[in-house]
């Protein structure tokens, strides 16, 4: 099973600033990595697939990068609605598909 | 626009079973994977398994093999997830999600459409 490790667990950033979230895989997942946003009480929402492609309707301030075992989600200028929990997910070697434990992005 | 609508909240006793449904509307059902993901209170996302209705065979995470059954009914465009021998640790919100399907000859297992979630509470 591929273990996905996200860091940091909690990130405090001020509105308008940049946020950088990391995700590391225990072995290569090539570019088969997705990022999701989850707001309280809501289902996850797909942000990024293929490590770097924004999903339909996702604002350009969200960007993903990386391949192999190291990945980054960057939010360029934080809006109030961006404060949420973010998960990475690998689908390269499965079953099982695995998620990271999440990064909580909170207002500083 | 594809939409997934799940069945309502359930309260169950330990040792019993629960079956959650996920009805798809507004798009193709048979050739996309339907995944089940659960989230225990205050915890992260945990993938349980998936089914591609046109193939009919489900794949499961090892943790859930033998205790979870995922199925799909093409005639009603509904997927199901049943958990047996429930225990308190199964208390969670259960989500279904549809993946992006086959693109350029490969299946893409990112989930871009989600149900609203079904809360299952297991308590004596």
Percent of chain B with pLDDT over 90: 86
- From chain B, the residues in CB contact with A94 under 8 A are 59, 109
Mean pLDDT of chain B: 95
Count the Cβ atoms, other than its own, within 10 Å of residue B73.
13
* pLDDT value at B84 more than 90: yes
Cβ pair A89:B46 closer than 8 A: no
State whether residue A37 sits within 8 Å of chain B by CB: no
CB contact at 8 A, A82 and A47: no
Structure-token pair, residue B48: 């349980």
Give residue-wise pLDDT tens across range A24-64. 999 999 999 999 999 999 999 999 999 999 999 999 999 99
Give residue-wise pLDDT tens across range A60-108. 999 999 999 999 999 999 999 999 999 999 999 999 999 999 999 999 9
Render chain B in DSSP notation, one character per residue.
--EEEEPPPEEE-TT--EEEEEEEESS--TTS-EEEEEE-TT---EEEEEE-TTT--EEE-GGGTTTEEEEEEGGGTEEEEEE-S--GGG-EEEEEEEEEEEETTEEEEEEEEE---EEEEE--
- From chain A, the residues in CB contact with B60 under 8 A are 95
Mean pLDDT, rounded, for B62-74: 95
CB contact at 8 A, B94 and B121: no
Radius of gyration of chain A, Cα coordinates, nearest whole angstrom: 13
The full length of chain B comes to 124
* pLDDT value at B28 more than 90: no
Structure-token pair, residue A105: 């992005």
Q: Which of B27-31, B48-52, B69-73 has the lowest mean pLDDT?
A: B27-31
* pLDDT value at B70 more than 90: yes
B118-122 and B10-12 as β-strands: parallel, antiparallel, unpaired? parallel
CA proximity to B80, closest of B10, B15, B24, B3: B24
- Residue B27: pLDDT band (50, 70, 90) is confident
Cβ pair A34:B45 closer than 8 A: no
Of A44, A56, A95, Cβ closest to residue B45: A44
Residue B104: its pLDDT value, please? 87
Torsion over CA of A24, A29, A30 and A32, rounded to 10 degrees? Answer: -100
Residue B33: its pLDDT value, please? 94
- Residue A19: pLDDT band (50, 70, 90) is very high
Distance from CA of A85 to the nearest CA of B (A): 9
Distance from CA of A43 to the nearest CA of B (A): 6
Residue B30: its pLDDT value, please? 86
Structure-token pair, residue A54: 């924004």
Structure-token pair, residue B94: 């259960």
């Amino acid at each position: 099973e591929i273990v996905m490790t996200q860091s940091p667990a909690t990130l405090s950033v001020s509105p308008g600033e940049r946020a950088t979230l990391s995700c590391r895989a225990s072995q290569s997942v090539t570019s088969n990595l997705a990022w999701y946003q989850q707001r309280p009480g809501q289902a996850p929402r797909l942000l990024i697939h293929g490590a770097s492609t924004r999903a339909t309707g996702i604002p350009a301030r969200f960007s993903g990068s990386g391949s192999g075992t190291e990945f980054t989600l960057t939010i360029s200028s934080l809006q109030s609605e961006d404060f949420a929990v973010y998960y990475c997910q690998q689908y390269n070697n499965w079953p099982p598909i695995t998620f990271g434990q999440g990064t909580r992005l909170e207002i500083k | 626009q594809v939409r997934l609508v799940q069945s309502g909240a359930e309260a169950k006793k330990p040792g019993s079973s629960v079956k959650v449904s996920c009805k798809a509307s507004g798009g193709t059902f048979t050739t996309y994977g339907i995944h089940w993901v659960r989230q225990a209170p205050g915890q992260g996302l945990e993938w349980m398994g998936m089914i591609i209705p046109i193939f009919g065979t489900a794949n499961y995470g090892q943790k859930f093999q033998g205790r979870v059954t995922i199925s799909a009914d093409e005639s009603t465009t509904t997927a199901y997830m049943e958990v047996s021998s429930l225990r308190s640790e199964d208390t969670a919100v259960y989500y279904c999600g549809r993946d992006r399907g086959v693109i350029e000859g490969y299946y893409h297992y990112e989930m871009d459409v989600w149900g609203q979630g079904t809360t299952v509470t297991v308590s004596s």
